[in-house]
Structure 1
């Protein structure tokens, strides 16, 4: 008999795309999608359950279907349909606690895959060049999605100790980008003018929406418990990303973050969360070697290719010509060499 897989957070991508991906897996007999809002189009071949995982009733869903594999995608950096920061934290943390309690009681559970984030490494001027899974953050995240993820991982480790018979896999994803999936960084890069932190040009690393789903699929099928960084190879500096989009940048001092957010809200645009500000200040790059060697996952697209696919898919062309902007560094270098060697 094949697996019965329960996936939380399937109303939108990446959850909706993931359940479509796994419904035809030969080792999967049944896929149950759970969310607190109905998807725009219910995926064929997937049993959708309208349920709030913050409610203890989720235990009945797990038990009645004899679920053996849970893929928990509900933890999110995106705001819910209704409610503010409190609602986000409740969905992320309390929802995870209720789901883990349901899994704790269900003898059928054999595998648990949990979505997390590389934001658990925090952001600090003393950060290492590369974060491995065992690297301790120099400054612990204290707000938002990053803090929620730290708490979630703590609860998941506690569950793993109580249920050593369950293969528990935590995937720490780099910031998500793609032409079809909404994400905070995708919304940021869609701005006509990019606000940046004065004096900083952070190194950025992404993961493509297709690679995210493939990492989840591999983790669901493989008995490879542990914590893994899931990220594309390579980095982009924020200045490079802006040039490739043709976006002008407006540097602002860190003390003006509140004013910038007020302006963005008045324009009906994105809100720069504390996590995004840390990322746009210090950047973050992780080492995906463990995922490659032990989980068997390798991202198909590099960070640069992921960014290019995002820009192409969103038709994201800014006020400035990216081709001409890309030539600026070379022209400056030629000018400097000419001045140093006037007779050359």
Structure 2
């Protein structure tokens, strides 16, 4: 499968720093030699990286999301394998091959007035790769956990899942933004609007939306979505405290989880998390962890995507992005 760089057991072992008396997470995960083996592998979850930031750049955001995958994987593989982390339930599949698209994006002129629009076709190419691999994973009866890239990849996740299941799916998105922008060139801000327009997305719950970073045009289109969209504002939960965090998550989950659904977690909803749209006002890291633990234990869970994290941004050396992402991944595996 040309869209995929499969990781071998040797690739994984090379990232593990062994220590006497301990068993590292990377010593208990599984790998496969061919994509066909996914059907017989016993792991419930499949870890897949998306090392790109083209969709973010196409949306006028800050690059850097291409580096999140390696940071997350290296840290995850060196956490502990024990009773609670359930490393045996994870298949480390590999990464989407974004090399050609990243090279092509690098050859474009950022000062050109058409720069962002020119990135759109490259995002379309990545869409096709992501949807193809996700379809294969979901068709095998497993739950993909996708790390890295921009939120443009939500479209591929949703399409791949819907095609595998032969029906539109629901999605809940932990995010400060809707990513429901108009159907212009493809970028990280319109993955959900494209997915709904093309019939792959049924119900869409947005959890943690910031009132002052959403245009009136988007509010108007969401209002006309025939009750397919539910919004839970950050301000209502964290500022005005109209309802507790737990109650808000429960209400949002009920909107989507009676049918197959995906979970999207954009780290720009986490206060001061290095991301393409970093915020000084947001949920805590612990609340993000609670959100994932609450949303990933339902039988209808179809996929999980953690996106928009950036690495090696000036001034962010104190924030361990890899460790934060590793926490979020292991939260999905608890009690599996």
TM bucket normalised to smaller? 0.3 to 0.5
Greater relative contact order structure (CA < 8 Å, 6+ sep): 2
Max Rg structure? 1
In the superposition, the TM-score normalised over structure 2's length comes to 0.33
